[in-house]
Structures are given as C-alpha cells and as structure tokens.
Amino acid sequence: MLKRRLLCIAGAALVCSGLLLFPSSSLAAPLPPNVEFMGLAERLVFFEDDDPFLSFAEVVPGDSVTRGFFVRNTSGVNAALFMKAEPVNDTDRALLERLNIKIALPHRGPSPEQVLYDGPVARMAESEPFGDFVQLGVGRDIDVELIVTLSVPADLTSEFMGRSAQFKWTFRAEDRSGPPFPTQPPHYPPFPPVTEIPGVKAPGTGDKSIAEAIRLPFAVLLVLLGLLFLVTVFKRKKEE
C-alpha cells in the first residue's frame, strides 16, 4: 500500500512539474476565431480571451465595441507590427467605409493617451508603403496594451442598419533589425518609440529561443511519464 501511494505521488509530481515548466497559457494562448497571425505576430500579440475580436452581431447607429490586446516583445528583435481588417462577406465591404476604428495606447500615469490611428476602417488599406496593413509601431523590449474601438456613426443610412458586421483581423510582424524602415505617410500619426513611453515597463532581454525549444519537449515528457505512472498503479490496483 505504501509503495502504491509513493508511486501515485511520484506520478502526480511529474505531471505537475511538466505543467509548471510549461504553463497551459503558454501552450495554448487565447486566440479569437476571427484573428490571424502572420510572420512573428504570434510571438508578439496576446489576447485575454478568445471572444470574437471587434465584430457586431447587429449594426446599430451610434454603437461601438472596444477590445484590447497586448504587445510583448522580449526577443530583442526590432519588430514592426501591422494590422488590417477584411470583411468576411463581400457584402460588408461597403460598410468598412462607414465604420470608424481608433487604435490607441491608453493613458498611463502622467502620459496621456496616444492615438496611433483614428479613421475609417477602409482607409487602413491606404497605408502605403505598407501594403494593405496599417503600421502600429516599430520597437524592441515592448510591453504595452493597445485599445481598439470600432464604432458605428450615428448618421448611418438605413441600408446598413440591422446587418451583422463580421471581419477578419490580421496581425503581421516583421524583423526590422536591418535597414531602416520607411517613414510613415504624413496622414498617419507618428508612433514614438514604445520604450520611451513613461510608466511602461520594459522586460529584460535575452535570447530564450534555445531554452524554450528544450522546455516544451521536456515538459511533455514529464507529463507523459507521470500519466504512465498513474495508469500503471491504477491498473495493478484493479487487477488485485
């Protein structure tokens, strides 16, 4: 009996050790169903839940929806982050001309709110030379939350009322550690270096790619060994 208990404890300890070494939030971070990542974005952009990102079940004049997401760059890479919106249905394409989107760094202590973009969703596609994406910023050692508000104008015409508005939001990130990135078009607000924003904590740097590559297989191995211990013990107990 004592031996069986010790085996159960050992198996449970191995399972817990694997989960602690690689938390479940890291294994499967929440991702809204209408969000897609390109390039390095999946390593930089994080959501608190998997609720649909900025969508309307029914378009009502004067209505708005606000969501936030986190940008964390601890890789030491000078990353450029972009985002764009595409309608799920072509019939909603005209609605992009009427909906307004505001992307901002919220107020933090003495630092006022900094608006990165405020205008029609459709004009995000005019952000040349960045293709059909709007640039959110370039920087390293970033740890900030961006607040995005999608709003319906109060004077929306009746042809759009009552319709659903479903969009796919794509985030793209690129390594810009090489040649300087082209300057933003003048009709977009400049994005100051995030590391200079007062009150924003920049996490420590360091190349963790090797450690992370080893940690996942090791954690999975510990979990499997723990489960094998538990299955063996319960099987023996059942046979007795």
What's the pLDDT tens digit per position in 75-116? 777 888 888 877 777 777 778 788 888 888 887 767 788 888
Distance in angstroms (rounded) separating the CA atoms of residues 96 and 101? 10
Q: Interhelix angle for 2-21 vs 209-239, to 10°?
A: 160
Together in a domain, 59 and 40: yes
Domain shared by 193 and 76, yes or no: yes
If asked whether residues 3 and 43 sit together in one domain, one would say no
Is residue 35 domain-shared with residue 148, that is, in the same domain?
A: yes
Q: What's the pLDDT score for residue 192?
A: 47
Q: How many separate domains does the chain show?
A: 2
In whole angstroms, what is the distance from residue 43 CA to residue 217 CA?
19
Do 52 and 65 reside in the same domain of the chain?
yes
**Beta carbons of 91 and 191 less than 8 angstroms apart:** no
Question: Does residue 214 share a domain with residue 199?
Answer: no
Statement to judge: residues 8 and 40 lie in one domain: no
197 and 219 housed in the same domain: no
Give, for all 240 residues of the chain, the pLDDT tens digit.
Answer: 544 544 444 444 443 444 344 333 344 567 888 888 888 888 888 888 888 888 777 778 888 888 888 888 877 778 888 888 777 777 777 787 888 888 888 877 677 888 888 888 777 655 444 456 777 777 777 788 888 898 888 888 888 777 777 778 888 888 877 654 444 444 444 444 444 444 444 444 444 445 555 666 667 677 777 777 777 767 777 766
Contact (CB, 8 A) for 83 and 134: yes
Residues 77 and 136 in one domain: yes
What local confidence, expressed as pLDDT, does residue 103 receive? 87
Do residues 195 and 213 share a domain?
A: no
15 alpha-carbon distance from chain centroid: 28
DSSP E strands: which ranges in 6-164? 35-39, 45-46, 64-73, 79-87, 100-105, 114-120, 134-139, 142-151
pLDDT in the model for residue 28 = 53
Which helix (H) or strand (E) is 169 found in, with range?
strand 167-175
Co-location of 230 and 115 in the same domain: no
Whole-number Å distance between alpha carbons of 116 and 148? 10
Does 7 share its domain with 108? no
240's CB contacts (< 8 A; 6+ apart) are none
Structural domain boundaries enclosing 11: 1-28+207-240
